[in-house]
Amino acid sequence: MSEQQPLIIHRYLKGTLLPAVRPLVAEYPLQLTINKRLLATLVASPHQLNFLVIGFLRLQGIITSLDDILSLGVCSEQGAARVEIRGEVPNHLRPTLTSGCGTGISFNLELPKDRPPQERGNYPAAAVFELMRQLADKTELYGRHGGVHSAAVGNTAGRLLLHAEDLGRHNTLDRIAGEALCKGINLSGCMLVSSGRISTEMVAKAARLGLGLIASRTSATDAAVRVARQAGITLIGYLRGDRFEVYTHPTQLNLPNSAGLIPATTGVILSGGESRRMGSDKSLLPLDGERFIERSFQLMASLFEEVLIVTNSPTLYTDIPCRKVPDLHRSKGALAGIQSGLHHATEPQIFVVACDMPFLSPGLIRHLCRENHSADVHIPRSHHGLEPLHACYTKACLPAMEAALQKDGRRIVDFFSAVTVQELPAEKWKPFDPEGLSFRNINTPQDYFTLRETRQAMPQKLQNVLPAE
C-alpha cells in the first residue's frame, strides 16, 4: 500500500548506465483540519489514514476516547482530513509534523523561481563516490553512538566543503545551510550526500541552496523524485560500493566509460497502428523470447531519460514502466502518433520509431539526435526515400502538424513544407548501419516468418538489442 507504480531508473555500474525499475516509497501530505482550524500537515504513507489521524489526536492529547470525535472525514484525492471534536483545540500544537526523525517543525518550502539549469555532464561519478567516502570518514557521532544522520556538501571535484550530524536528517541540511551563510560559502552547483532517506523537504531545501545533485545511501520518496525533476536536480539513491541508482536527470552525470543518455530528447515508440497486413498486433509478436514492444522499450530506455509509448490500448503494456499516451487525432495514421508523442514529451525534441523495427542501431540513433543541426526535422534518407519513422522532431513542428491533421493529412511528410528539414544522407548513417536494417519494418506475416528464419544467420551485433557501443 505504501509503494507507487514502479519508476524507470538507471543503474550505474562500472561507468555505464543501464535501465531498470524501482518501486518508490510513497510520501503523502495530509492536511488536518480540526473544528475548522487548519492544524497540521502530516507527511506519511497513503494508507489507513483514519487510523493515522485518530492516533495523532490521541497522542497529542486532543482526544482520550472515540466519544470525543463528533465526525471524521478523509479525502485521499484532496489530501485532506476534517475532524469535529468535543471542546476546543489546544493552542500549543506544532504547525507541521514532518516525515523526519523525531517530531520536527517544517513550513511550506517553495522552489526558487528562474533557477538556471545545471550543465549537462557537470557531475563526475567519481566525485560523487569520493564525497560519500569523505562523509563516512567524518561521521564521528555515528561511530561512537550510532543512530545519527550525517550529510555533507562538496564541489564537483569531490572536495568536501561542509558536513553535519544530527538526530534528524533534515536538521543536517539546516546545519550546513547555517554554517555556509555564516562563513560566506556559496553552495550553488555543489553536491549533497546524505546517510538518510531523501524526502520532498530535503529536495526543496537543496533547491533553495542551489545544489544540483543529491545522493543518499538509501532511497528517495516518490514525491522527492517529482520535486527533483521539477527543480533540475540529479537525484541518486542506494549509493553503495561502486554503484548507485539515478532517479532524475542522469544526463547531468559525467560518466567515464559510457556515452550516457542522450540529452534534451524524449524517445517515442509508435504502437497505435491497426496492423491490417499482419492480421494481429505487431507490437506483441515474440522475437528471441521478448515481444517487439519490450525490445524497443529496453533499447530506447538505454538511450533516453524519458520514453513514451503512443497507443490507444494502454492496457496491453501495463508491465512496461513508462507513460502511455493516446492519439489526439484518432484514426489519422502515424502522423497523429508523432504529433501526440511530441505534444506529451517533456523534452524539446523527440526521436520516433515504430514498434515493429527490431534492428535499431544505438550508434545511429545517438548520431542522429546529437549531431549539431538547427532544423525542425532531422531525418535519414535511404534508397527507399526519407525515413520518417526513424527521425527527430522538435516542438516547433507542432503547429504545422496540427494544421496538416486538420486538413486530414495522412502522410508524415505533409507538414514538411512548413518547417525546416535537414536530411541525413546515406554516407553519414552507413558507418553505423551499413545495411540500413534500422529502417526495416515487419509489416506482414511473411516478413515475420522470414525474420525468424534468417535470425540465426545475422551477425551477433544485430541480434543483441543492447550492443556494446
Q: What is the pLDDT of residues 305-315, one digit of tens each?
A: 899 999 988 88
The confidence score (pLDDT) of residue 460 equals: 47
* Same domain? 367 vs 285: yes
Average pLDDT along the chain: 82
* Same domain? 287 vs 399: yes
Domain at 289, CATH number = 3.90.550.10
| Residue 398 belongs to some domain of the structure | yes
* Same domain? 278 vs 171: no
Domain at 154, CATH number = 3.40.140.10
Instruction: Confirm if 307 and 377 have CB atoms less than 8 A apart.
Output: no
| Residue 418 belongs to some domain of the structure | yes
Domains of the chain: total: 3
Say if strands 349-354 and 265-270 run parallel, antiparallel, or are unpaired. parallel
Q: Which domain holds residue 166?
A: 112-254
Domain at 63, CATH number = 3.10.20.10
* Same domain? 292 vs 186: no
The confidence score (pLDDT) of residue 113 equals: 61
Check pLDDT > 90 for residue 259: no
Give tens-digit pLDDT for 417-442: 999 999 999 999 999 999 888 998 87
Domain boundary among 206, 227, 254: 254
Give tens-digit pLDDT for 393-416: 999 999 999 999 999 877 899 999
Domain boundary among 193, 224, 254: 254
Domain boundary among 254, 287, 308: 254
Give tens-digit pLDDT for 186-205: 999 999 999 988 988 899 98
* Same domain? 244 vs 271: no
| Residue 395 belongs to some domain of the structure | yes
* Same domain? 195 vs 334: no
* Same domain? 137 vs 75: no
The confidence score (pLDDT) of residue 140 equals: 61
Model pTM?
0.69
* Same domain? 194 vs 247: yes
Give tens-digit pLDDT for 341-352: 999 999 999 999
| Residue 20 belongs to some domain of the structure | no
| Residue 344 belongs to some domain of the structure | yes
